Amino acid sequence: MNRESLEQLRCCAWRTVSYRAAEMAAARASIGGDHDGDAVVTSCQRLEAYGFGPCDCAAPERLTGHAALERLAAVTAGLESVVLGEDQITGQVRSAFAAASNELRAASDIAIATARALRAETRFESHAGHLLDKALRLSTMQPGGLLLVLGAGAMGRLIAERGHELGFRVTVAARRPPEPPFGDEFVELGRVPGLPRFDVVVGCLGSGAGEIAPRVLPACRLLVDLGTPRNFNVPSSPGVVAIADMLDEEATRPHATARRRKLRARLGEILDQRLARLGENSRSPLGAFRAEVEAIRQQELERARKLHPQVPAEVLDAVTRSLIDKVFHRPTARIRGLSDEQRAREFTSYFES
């Protein structure tokens, strides 16, 4: 990716945390009609299309150039997530760009590497399961009792695990039992209307589930809606909490907003450092060195994929890339500030026996 293509990078964004089914359908229709060939990042909070060139879609927010790339890095680092630093979004970003053009993947590589560097120096202690903690705090309800989790996907699993940690007895409801199983009890979704009272019911259903009328749910003290679009057709109240409510509440806490600002500023610094390396092409000593190392990594990565097909390709890629970055960070940082002649001597000294 060069600076010319960076200037053409574009992000069309929808903040979907409060969307009902009709609003989500309209956003998805716009994505499908106007963003052919774009990489589309979908999560419980956003719908974003990354591509090159102008766009006249109906997205409420549009970023271009450096701002678009910085947004992608912030999303990947979990800085735009309601749970600060949650790492599930990294896999979602990788999946979104997996089938994209080489140019778009180059942009995502920079964003992912920037996010990874921020994570390496920052201690994040939360994951998406901590949305349960946020909902309990908003409702002023103490943890413990009976928890019903609707949905057995990644979010449902994290909520169930966090519920166990907080002392809940967890029932998981889904179309079929999860593998491997989790929760204290499993019930089929069709049996949910007949279940007895729970202390907390959490909706973690996919976007295709549609809205559920509260009258078909068991009685509860707290209803938590983590769906996008929203799972439950009921307005927010002290006994009903959605993701949008959690974001609104965090915006009122100065310490939380200050930490996000500080992390975004640091992320911007790391991104600018990485963009400064774009001029290090294969004709420069350092650029040629990095290109050769990357070629070797790709060869070994392909061999590892064949030897270990059970390991996800993105895991192998992340592990090998992280190893190379750690091994060569100090040498390349030292060499970068030297003249070409000095760099040549440095290369020789690093690899002499």
For residue 215, the 8-state DSSP code is G
> Both tokens of residue 133?
């903690």
| Per-residue pLDDT at 353 exceeds 50 | no
CATH topology for the 1-127+254-279 domain: Beta Polymerase; domain 2 (3.30.460)
Residue 79 CA to residue 16 CA, distance in Å, equals 16
Whether domain 141-237 has CATH 3.40.720.10: no
> Both tokens of residue 318?
């992340």
- Cβ neighbours around 75 below 10 Å, total: 26
Instruction: Please report the pLDDT score of residue 282 as a whole number.
Output: 46
| Per-residue pLDDT at 272 exceeds 70 | yes
Residue by residue, what is the 3-state secondary structure of 136-163?
HHHHCCCCCEEEEEECCCHHHHHHHHHH
Instruction: Please report the pLDDT score of residue 192 as a whole number.
Output: 94
Residue 221 CA to residue 140 CA, distance in Å, equals 11
Residue that wins the pLDDT comparison between 25 and 186: 186
Q: What's the chain's average pLDDT?
A: 86
The pLDDT > 90 percentage for the chain reads 48
Stated length of the chain: 353
pLDDT band at 217 (very low <50, low <70, confident <90, very high): very high
Query: Which value, in Å, is the radius of gyration of the alpha carbons in the chain?
Result: 23
- What distance lies between CA 157 and its chain's CA centroid? 16
Phi/psi at 188 (5° precision): -75, 150
173 contacts 183 by C-beta, under 8 angstroms:
no
Instruction: Please report the pLDDT score of residue 286 as a whole number.
Output: 63
The pLDDT > 70 percentage for the chain reads 87
Report the range of poorest mean pLDDT among 163-172, 192-201, 242-251.
Answer: 242-251
Q: Given its phi and psi angles, is residue 8 left (phi above 0), alpha (psi -120 to 50 degrees) or beta?
A: alpha
Residue appearing with tokens 């994505």: 31
Determine the average pLDDT of the residues in 274-287: 65
Determine the average pLDDT of the residues in 321-333: 72
Report the range of poorest mean pLDDT among 67-81, 153-167, 224-238, 313-327.
Answer: 313-327
Residue 97 CA to residue 112 CA, distance in Å, equals 11
Segment 8-22, tens digit of pLDDT: 999 999 988 888 878
Q: Where are the domains of the chain?
A: 1-127+254-279, 141-237, 282-353
